[in-house]
Structure 1
């Protein structure tokens, strides 16, 4: 059985419901997501080929998807994409936790936190170039990132240009670049990061928000570095999966009695303070301050028009050995989406750095991201 035939069989037998759902939402949604671990249960060979040969696997899967007919919906899926997610544990890494040389051109999962994102811009996907000598159009598929690729020679007069890009006759797609870095609690010294290029319906996706912890499925590719033998690395993103909040899955009904006990207690604050880091004796005022910070205030405006954000910031000072870290770690354990970091490798609050576009830019130092609600 050919590769295309195997993909056709798997899609029809295992992902029929997903394909029908895609057809119902098409063309507003254009991507069929295939979890590789789920695929491995049905076809181990197809699943094992995906990390090693991602482009070949995607081309075969998309060819099979485009050929599938849905008579009851009569919706051709000729422009639909296949995106792989949920790779095996052996192909899952943190930012900076993989060898670029060993994973080059492979599809991997990278876990990290989005720190920067560009706006969504048009990206040239298939360039139509007109020869300035004979006006013949030559079409050239463009790379996922980097410099525009022109024809080597004209398809008409067979001369090497010059050429002019015809924007209206070219094919375009959406593009966005994001920066993924280690979460603060994983960073040792300087924080590592990697740039990720996403395109198509993935650009501008709701999952791509600053501060969000995500798993990016992408292909590791090198970035040409001006003739040097040491190149930079990047990811050509194929899918972005938001890290699910464990607290969102908590069954609050199971804790109804405890919540009611706390609510009806004559001194709720004292009760919570006694349960906050019970192994730490004393310092009730510090525990209360940390608890109040965890609950947070509320934004309000006074009668005089002054605005209060309701945010609380604590600067905790003390002698060595007084368990300041223990108190902060306890607050981190209790805080949804919390993050904890120390000063190791921290820079100044802001420092000037060279920029490719401008002579200098200001770069912020290490700080703990705000907790989003």
Structure 2
């Protein structure tokens, strides 16, 4: 069996892969939902927009479910603490996501303008709210979350919901929202034509520029603002059993930049985030839509990777009890659990990727108004 320290690193990487997979696959569905009321003028155009993602959105949401399940199984302390501290935020995400299945299923069941417009805005909420909240959550992780543990390792969140909505976290939410909207816009431009495609292009380009400005602004804020990072100041035994209270942690203004100073190649991640977004904007404007979608996906990899690399080995820092901060080394499951999960992932993840690729290949091509008219009773 693979040794325990290596499995801890592998699962940090695999959780990252699942988060990136969720952002790329379900992210473009959410981005399309965010753009739906603005790129579709009239019922027929909005049905075109919905049908670009209708056959795939539920399959893509598997990445979200799998990511949550992986965190639960691989990082149980992180799962429990996050759902305690971010309880109302997580509920808001779930409430927003409820609009997606009922919106897709019920929206076109009744030929009534008010009914359909209401569900269009419901799909907008289901697409726009989750990325915003996820970005706000990441912004709070970079600042530290106010929680601690008692003698029985029971976590207690000492903050409030409104504390989560601080200026830096909201800026991180703008980054997340803009990059998902950009990603959805490039996908929509690839699957449509005519006036819908033109509006999707404008949306993608605008979102890409907002993402770059907000991303650079967040980086400068971390560098020159009053946000302190976290650094472990005691010796760590990577092979030790999980115990988040077995270390000492200090706060430092340059802590989140330490990994970048030690490993200069990590600067390729923020560069990829910026270059990918600008390339996506340029390519989609030139109607090279498939290349734009790939560039947009790479931008997502760069942005998410930038945050992960800055925080490593921290997963969930604590602002009220720094020594209780959860890291890759001390918040994981047992050696046996990580090993069994690794081999299961090695078998099943390629199957998911293969099936997803096959489904997209079968349903490739442009969605047009003529297609909607010809499939009135089967299209969304």
Whether TM-score is above 0.5 comes out as no
TM range (shorter): under 0.3
Bigger RCO of structures 1 and 2 (CA < 8 A, at least 6 apart):
2
- Greater share of helix: 2
**Higher Cα radius of gyration:** 1
- Greater share of strand: 1
TM-score, normalised with respect to structure 1:
0.21
TM-score, normalised with respect to structure 2:
0.21
